[in-house]
Structure 1
């Protein structure tokens, strides 16, 4: 089935497409019917299944690989989530047939519609803040940091906030594919936290910063940091404090300004410790200790900004650790493959060596990696060749190669890196992700050996971890 030819009435995997509800930049949403009634007998669904929507990535409208990886992230995280603050997950399809996620439809509008009426009454701003903070606390308890809190990703149901779209999220106990493959800031310009700008994705208080941006906008009708579209624009929040909310709206209570500005502190440690603490103080402002933030009437002076800018220029991204640091770190093994040019014999030898190594390291995580070689000059024709998204095809090939290993889904990841220099890309991936061992193939004949052999030789020479080179048994 061609994944970009979905039509109303089509049936696959026991679902029927009823109506296309929305098409965004990276995915389409369809109202679907579960023809197999897989909900029967499931706890919490005794009274029937809710309306279902299917999220389908738009693989042929963008050449941005982050869209594909973000969809993989959401497929990994959503089955782990539960509770009233997230959509109920029902199933998903892989890229080798039709990629999708089926979840319950959350009726109503997102928080985005309320921004058209900002500034809102203080009571409504506070009510929204409490609901979103409670939802974030529940999410954080499940080892997930959302990392893309914005108006369109917040819905409301039965008086509770429901968080959606986990494509940029990080799960404490799952591999962070986005961090492993990309180095640019991940988030939405107006709401991204300072530490996210620096590439840090393991800080739960990043979500509190984003909530602070929302509260500021709802309370004043203005965005505290505008709508930056460049990395340099995003970095301004590392040193330029926002205009105090009461400068836009003098009737705003000092305690609410205190809360908003505390959420927007550059250093996570200066914000609230948890979303639960924030929710409590929004409900009980009399328990809040007021500081100079509450009465602040203008931005910090020039000298303060210069000092912060000098400090920010020397900031390096901190080493990332699991939010649950008590978890033992498992070794990371990389299997570097070139399935587009390699022989079946080489692929089989790589798999056998990988299997043996995993048997000696039962706690290890395997990262299957291939390079999509791209040109730095001119148009890259990788998006569609003969009707196929090449990034997706290589991803599917990796999964087919690894299937005989029979690994648990939380122990194996798949990465298609885009680079003009395959060896350098492998070496940088290993360095950035603290890889312990690389297994790489080397072809055995003539020009092919010279081509891939040079890659493996460079990896052996320059990688800081152990490297095992596997050769083809073809004669």
Structure 2
């Protein structure tokens, strides 16, 4: 291993160190240039000096194993690793801009800004969880954004990968994480539940909406464990500008039992983007902490009894899919509508945690002005919403498991595709239209969706519908 401290000008495996960009508790970040082509990157090296925490090395090993396996816009692109026998390093994409850390000077943020940030971070978590990784250190300094707005999660030193040995779990007994954001099960040493990241995101949204950390910043295990039995002050008590809908979502993220949180990051993102369809519970109207005796009763219980243990097979994002049913209310035959219902029900029966999003596209004119009322003076948007609910009523789904969306757009197929991409839809269900001259000339909506969707598409047909 290279001894001593690295310096500007040092060349390691073809990468020249240009500057020290950041020094953290476990690693240094360097700006580097690849000599062969002049491309610039970021190099991360572990803190390996005498007297430093050995967890810095173990976490760096984990990050070296995990980062090459990650793909997509929500993670930094991995370039190269350096061997511990010489000089350990990770070279990755150099992201421009800042983390969310400077935003702390502007707190509290407007509720709509908090919801937007939360939804974009939840998108990134969904992508990560689908790749089998739990971040376990979601905090402002580990979140950046691309120019297009996508959240990027950085620093995987504390992460858990379901297909890799968990070195942090095997070698250390103390919980590792960032105190204000650690989930109760993480405090108790459980690192295999993706819903821990949802708790951390809830703590971050609480902080950004109120300017106050929900559990303070305890530095000892005793203080960390208080979140198992002592609930935070309701956000609306600290900031009356916070709407009940946002408090409902944030406090659901902060539930001690993971099973009471959202089943997946995708469903959390969906709620944040469509809060008007979130069913309100007592969480939304809560204005005071739980009483002294309720907290005392919980404190007297075994800590492990207060949390949920993850299932034997680690929870995956696919266990809680979002299924979108795209309905054409203009000319759908009753038998096709019924067949769509039966197909949707079969899908939901296989996935008890699934959510159904029922869609209709209210097609707009390309040139002529659109009228919001029909010939009888009824609001078209409202009428479509009623039609969607009428279609879904025989399914008898409980509130909160189904949402309804009337999307106004010129291109129905592209609108359905865009909804699927933005909301991390796992399965699109739609009916095939009957044959017509225009359909043959222009092509069908279902054909385009099936060809371009980022997920599974099922096109339901009547026997009389050919091709």
Q: 2:101 aligns with which of 109, 112, 118?
A: 112
Give aligned pairs, total. Answer: 314
Partner of 2:346: none
Contact kept, 8 Å, 1:85 with 1:160, in 2: the verdict is yes
Q: Is 1:309 aligned to 2:309, yes or no?
A: no
Q: Is 1:207 aligned to 2:204, yes or no?
A: no
Partner of 1:10: 10
Unmatched 5+ residue regions in structure 2?
A: 317-467
Distance 2:57 2:246 in 1: 40
After superposition, give the CA deviation of every residue in 1:157-189 in whole Å (9 maximum; x if it has no partner): 121110000000000111111111111111111
Following superposition, the deviation at residue 5 of structure 1 comes to 3.1
Q: Is 1:155 aligned to 2:144, yes or no?
A: yes
Distance 1:180 1:27 in 2: 21
After superposition, give the CA deviation of every residue in 1:12-38 in whole Å (9 maximum; x if it has no partner): 21111111111122211111111234x
Partner of 1:183: 173
Cα distance change on mapping 1:252 and 1:65 into 2, 3 Å = same
Cα distance change on mapping 1:316 and 1:199 into 2, 3 Å = farther
Contact kept, 8 Å, 1:129 with 1:211, in 2: the verdict is yes
Following superposition, the deviation at residue 53 of structure 1 comes to 0.8
Moved over 6 A (4+): none
Contact kept, 8 Å, 2:193 with 2:310, in 1: the verdict is no
Following superposition, the deviation at residue 322 of structure 1 comes to 5.0
Contact kept, 8 Å, 1:3 with 1:97, in 2: the verdict is no
Q: Is 1:283 aligned to 2:278, yes or no?
A: no
Distance 1:35 1:201 in 2: 40
Q: Is 1:263 aligned to 2:258, yes or no?
A: no
Partner of 1:323: 314
Partner of 2:264: 274
Following superposition, the deviation at residue 216 of structure 1 comes to 0.3
Contact kept, 8 Å, 1:118 with 1:221, in 2: the verdict is yes
Partner of 1:146: 135
After superposition, give the CA deviation of every residue in 1:412-442 in whole Å (9 maximum; x if it has no partner): xxxxxxxxxxxxxxxxxxxxxxxxxxxxxxx
Cα distance change on mapping 1:168 and 1:320 into 2, 3 Å = farther
Contact kept, 8 Å, 2:108 with 2:211, in 1: the verdict is yes
Distance 2:185 2:25 in 1: 26
Cα distance change on mapping 1:269 and 1:314 into 2, 3 Å = closer
Distance 2:311 2:84 in 1: 30
Distance 1:23 1:225 in 2: 27
Cα distance change on mapping 1:63 and 1:125 into 2, 3 Å = same
Partner of 2:162: 172
Partner of 1:129: 118
After superposition, give the CA deviation of every residue in 1:224-269 in whole Å (9 maximum; x if it has no partner): 0000000000000000000000000112100000001000000000
RMSD across aligned C-alpha pairs, in angstroms? 1.8
Distance 2:60 2:87 in 1: 13
Partner of 2:227: 237
Q: 1:252 aligns with which of 239, 242, 247?
A: 242
After superposition, give the CA deviation of every residue in 1:387-436 in whole Å (9 maximum; x if it has no partner): xxxxxxxxxxxxxxxxxxxxxxxxxxxxxxxxxxxxxxxxxxxxxxxxxx
Distance 1:134 1:312 in 2: 35
Contact kept, 8 Å, 1:202 with 1:321, in 2: the verdict is no
Distance 1:63 1:315 in 2: 35
Following superposition, the deviation at residue 315 of structure 1 comes to 3.5
Distance 2:157 2:50 in 1: 18
Equivalences for residues 332-411 of structure 1 within 5 A: none
Contact kept, 8 Å, 1:202 with 1:320, in 2: the verdict is no
